[in-house]
């Protein structure tokens, strides 16, 4: 099932003729044949035979309907800035979440708007976060002389310690950054406890909740903090089209917040100029494609079951995951970087060590045949590591 614009907001279908309409443009033969015959093949994804399980992508996307929209948008609108399509998607997202256009900011992937938020926050103070979370964007200001992240240890079970985070908020903290579900652990916070934390903490500072993996859960809406924005709390929420929708390469993400917060954050970058027609067309077509989202969730569950079975059969353990990746405890069998290198020898690409968590290895759920390569390579890679340690 694909998205049908609501009668209230989108009756008339002007976008279909503006940004997604059919095109009669044909590339000149001279341009089509310009590449030299000896040029190497360009791989827009992993090379054949490579199991790419290191970036939490959904390799089953874009959906067939999204691919049609990409083709139309690129041919008829690729020469033009993407304002019209951008405003259309903005209004779709706003309506879906009972917000206004002014509460939504779209950028090339959520990384960009998350970085804007980090720059805005560090102009006033420090960012507070758990010891282990997806911290790349919150670290962005550091390269320009900004303050380091103030980190709070995770619990013994690698959960985010909400109580400790709240107690660490002082006048220097300009933003608290939480990923839920968390990356790289894959764990989800109790929605009631997170809601209580956000309400309480947002009275003292801005609270950012990155919900990149929310839609991978069947009960995702129950865990979302977006309703807190409607209630007037000082909370911002980031989402992406890179995960459930399989559009990581199309680069569309967004943030939701109060008009004041979004105006303040957007001052730190020209996010609207980063988006592209093809990515917007794919996002617009995919946003309410429940059939494709259900298919993607089923594939993720199947792949996680395979990974968990392999983990157990090889005498290892892993954290429960609400995402499209698994955080595997290698125990005394070796370290994450060594395991990453050993798996690469079997054409399986996974992540290496996170911070000081030397014995923890993250693997994404890719195509089932690639996950099978991971399963088959695991005992051999572990054995290779064991032999290397003894040597």
Domain-embedded: residue 314: yes
Q: How far apart are CA 261 and CA 128, in angstroms?
A: 18
**pLDDT number for residue 39:** 57
**pLDDT number for residue 389:** 72
158 and 258 in a common domain: yes
Phi, psi of 172 (to 5 degrees): -85, -20
Q: How far apart are CA 82 and CA 243, in angstroms?
A: 22
Domain-embedded: residue 58: no
pTM confidence score? 0.88
345 and 218 in a common domain: no
**β-sheet bridge partners, residue 364:** 325
- Please report, for the domain that includes residue 298, its CATH number: 3.90.1150.10
Q: Which domain holds residue 370?
A: 290-390
Q: How far apart are CA 208 and CA 12, in angstroms?
A: 36
Domain-embedded: residue 312: yes
**pLDDT, tens digit only, all 391 positions of the chain:** 333 333 333 333 333 333 333 333 333 333 344 444 445 788 999 999 999 999 999 999 999 999 999 999 999 999 999 999 999 999 999 999 999 999 999 999 999 999 999 999 999 999 999 999 999 999 999 999 999 999 999 999 999 999 999 999 999 999 999 999 999 999 999 999 999 999 999 999 999 999 999 999 999 999 999 999 999 999 999 999 999 999 999 999 999 999 999 999 999 987 667 899 999 999 999 999 999 999 999 999 999 999 999 999 999 999 999 999 999 999 986 799 999 999 999 999 999 999 999 999 999 999 999 999 999 999 999 999 888 777 6
Contact partners, residue 303, CB within 8 Å, separation at least 6: 324, 365, 366, 368, 371
How many CB atoms neighbour CB 92 within 10 A?
A: 21
317 and 172 in a common domain: no
**pLDDT number for residue 237:** 98
- Please report, for the domain that includes residue 186, its CATH number: 3.40.640.10
Domain-embedded: residue 66: no
Domain end residue (candidates: 251, 286, 321): 286
Q: How far apart are CA 66 and CA 287, in angstroms?
A: 10
Q: How far apart are CA 240 and CA 248, in angstroms?
A: 9
Domain-embedded: residue 356: yes
Q: How far apart are CA 306 and CA 384, in angstroms?
A: 22
225 and 368 in a common domain: no
Contact partners, residue 45, CB within 8 Å, separation at least 6: 52, 59, 249
**pLDDT number for residue 334:** 75
Domain end residue (candidates: 223, 256, 286): 286
Total count of domains within the chain: 2
294 and 189 in a common domain: no
371 and 355 in a common domain: yes
181 and 250 in a common domain: yes
Domain-embedded: residue 147: yes
Domain-embedded: residue 301: yes
Domain-embedded: residue 116: yes
């Amino acid at each position: 099932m694909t998205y049908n614009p609501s009668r209230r907001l989108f009756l008339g279908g002007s976008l279909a003729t503006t940004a997604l309409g059919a095109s009669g443009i044909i590339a000149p033969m001279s341009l089509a044949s310009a590449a030299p015959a000896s040029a190497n093949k360009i791989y827009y994804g992993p090379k054949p035979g490579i199991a790419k399980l290191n970036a939490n992508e959904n390799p089953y996307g874009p959906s067939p309907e999204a691919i049609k929209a990409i083709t139309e948008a690129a041919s008829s609108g690729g020469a033009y800035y993407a304002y019209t399509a951008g405003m259309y998607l903005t209004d779709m997202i706003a309506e879906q979440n009972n917000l206004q256009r002014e509460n939504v900011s779209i950028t090339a992937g959520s990384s960009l708007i998350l970085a804007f938020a980090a720059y805005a926050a560090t102009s006033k103070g420090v960012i507070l976060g758990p010891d282990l979370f997806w911290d790349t964007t919150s670290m962005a200001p550091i390269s320009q002389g900004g303050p380091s992240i103030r980190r709070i240890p995770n619990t013994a079970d690698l959960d985010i310690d909400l109580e400790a985070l709240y107690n660490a908020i002082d006048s220097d903290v300009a933003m608290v950054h939480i990923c839920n579900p968390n990356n790289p652990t894959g764990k989800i916070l109790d929605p009631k406890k997170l809601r209580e934390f956000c309400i309480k903490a947002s009275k003292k500072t801005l609270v950012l909740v990155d919900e990149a993996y929310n839609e991978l859960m069947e009960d995702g809406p129950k865990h979302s903090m977006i309703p807190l924005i409607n209630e007037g709390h000082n909370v911002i929420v980031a989402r992406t089209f890179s995960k459930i929708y399989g559009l990581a390469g199309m680069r569309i993400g967004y943030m939701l917040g109060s008009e004041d917060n979004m105006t303040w954050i957007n001052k730190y970058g020209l996010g609207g100029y980063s988006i592209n027609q093809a990515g917007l067309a794919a996002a617009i077509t995919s946003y309410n494609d429940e059939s494709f989202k259900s298919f993607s969730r089923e594939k993720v569950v199947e792949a996680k079951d395979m990974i968990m079975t392999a983990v157990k059969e090889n005498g290892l353990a892993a954290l429960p995951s609400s995402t499209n990746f698994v955080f595997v405890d290698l125990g005394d069998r070796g370290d994450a970087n060594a395991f990453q290198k050993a798996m690469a020898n079997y054409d399986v690409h996974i992540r290496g060590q996170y911070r000081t968590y030397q014995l923890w290895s993250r693997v994404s759920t890719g195509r089932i045949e690639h996950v099978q390569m991971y399963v088959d390579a695991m005992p051999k890679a572990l054995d290779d590591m064991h032999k290397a340690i003894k040597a």
